[in-house]
Amino acid sequence: MVAFIGGGIYGAAVYYAGGLILHWATRLVGGTTFRQARHVLAFASAPIALSLFVVWPVRLAVYGEDVFRSGGSDRGAGDVAFHVVELAFVAWAVGLLVFGVRELYRR
């Protein structure tokens, strides 16, 4: 229960702080509203949320509880492969962020 409440608080903080940072960064090149910056950031972060439902269940099925411990059987080529897949989701999110900001300026 504490993890869900803490995750909600953390998510809200990242949503507002990240939106504020994106708003300030876009003001240098023309500007968006704070609301637009938050919305673009939220939609762009969808692939990262998706990776929690796609990558992590497979990783837990392969390695079990070793994922939550240092060392163990979750080291090596398999671990590198999971990190590459997670980085692909991050790259997808960054691409969506760039695309979203670009679309805001296309008006």
Q: Is the confidence at residue 15, as pLDDT, over 70? A: yes
The 8-class DSSP code of residue 29 comes to: T
Answer yes or no: are the C-beta atoms of 97 and 41 closer than 8 Å: yes
Judged on CB neighbours under 10 Å (0-12, 13-18, 19+), 32 is buried
Question: What pTM does this model have?
Answer: 0.80
Q: CA-CA distance, 93 to 7, in Å (whole number)?
A: 20
| Higher local confidence (pLDDT), 64 or 6 | 6
Q: Is the confidence at residue 87, as pLDDT, over 90? A: yes
| pLDDT tens by residue, 25-77 | 888 877 778 898 899 999 999 999 999 899 888 888 887 777 777 766 667 78
Structural domains of the chain, count: 1
Residue 25 is part of which domain span? 2-105
Residue 107 has what pLDDT?
62
